[in-house]
Structure 1
Amino acid sequence: MALRWYSVVVDCLDVRKQAAWWADALDWRLVHETDDECVIIPSWVDQKVVDETPWERTGPGMLFVRVPEVKTVKNRLHVDLAPHTSQDRDAEIARLEALGARRVDIGQGDDAGATVLADPEGNEFCVLSSRTS
């Protein structure tokens, strides 16, 4: 039996702000919130979906945990986001920037196939080209 990818954990200074930012960015919803941790999951996941989906096929959520230190170096692991081919990729990048993301240079070069952004606390993520799957 395979293990289930349960969550992505993001260390941060302000768990509520980071969780809200990522929920807005991904159109997910907040399902748990304290001063020390917050959890977001896809908006379409409800109890019926959980009950009808095999354990190992349920996608991960995101857990934001409070830490005292600021981020100081490039992430060793990051999230790749991709718009659907029916979406305007540049408009999605502009939307993320309007939410507070900023473009960052991690050495990707001008010919990179992705746009590298950072969330409000500096965690890098990529926006790939549009995809159908």
Structure 2
Amino acid sequence: MGLRWYSTVINCRDPRALAHWWAETLGWQIVHEADDECVVVPAHLDVEDLRRVPWAEMPQGLVFVPVPEDKAGLNRLHLDLACHLADDRDALIAGLVERGASYADVGQGHDVTRTVLRDPEGNEFCVLSAREF
């Protein structure tokens, strides 16, 4: 069967707070919350559903783990978020900023169709142009 992408791990100072921030951002849910690890998965699945999902169809999750140091430098990997064409992209970005995200200049220029932000712990992510699919 081979390997499959299972989760993305995000190192952070406060896993609980950052997991809650990302769960709210994505409309996902926290299925495990402990001092050493918090796990966020799509909201349409509860823990019992996850046990019934075939291995090849298991959705990826985000895992937040504690590290003692603050983030330094740019991420080598980042998440790209997008909204549907029917959504108000600018309002969604404003909502992220109100909840603790900040704008990031990573040298992207003014002619790009994405907005680069940082989550409350400084991890960069992009909000792409609105998409139909």
Tell me the TM-score normalised to structure 1 length: 0.93
Deviates more, 1:40-49 or 1:100-109: 40-49
What's 1:79 paired with? 79
Structure 2 counterparts to residues 63-78 of structure 1, below 5 A: 63-78=63-78
Structure 2 counterparts to residues 16-95 of structure 1, below 5 A: 16-46=16-46, 47-48=48-49, 51=52, 53-95=53-95
Unpaired stretches in structure 1, ≥5 consecutive residues: none
Percent of residue pairs bearing the same amino acid type = 55
1:75 is paired with a residue of what secondary structure? coil
Structure 2 counterparts to residues 112-127 of structure 1, below 5 A: 112-127=112-127
Cα distance in 2, alignment partners of residues 28 and 19 from structure 1:
10
State the Cα distance separating 1:27 from its structure 2 match: 0.8
Cα distance in 1, alignment partners of residues 118 and 2 from structure 2:
32
Aligned residue type for 1:30: I
C-alpha RMSD of matched pairs (Å)? 1.3
Cα distance in 1, alignment partners of residues 60 and 98 from structure 2:
26
What's 2:100 paired with? 100
Aligned residue type for 2:38: C
Q: Deviations over 1:56-113 (max 9, x none)?
A: 2222100000001110100010000000111111111011111110000001111112
State the Cα distance separating 1:50 from its structure 2 match: 5.3
State the Cα distance separating 1:4 from its structure 2 match: 2.2
Unpaired stretches in structure 2, ≥5 consecutive residues: none
1:69 is paired with a residue of what secondary structure? coil
1:76 is paired with a residue of what secondary structure? coil
Tell me the TM-score normalised to structure 2 length: 0.93
2:17 is paired with a residue of what secondary structure? helix
Q: Deviations over 1:1-30 (max 9, x none)?
A: 342211110000001110011011111111
Paired residues in the alignment total 132
Cα distance in 2, alignment partners of residues 54 and 34 from structure 1:
26
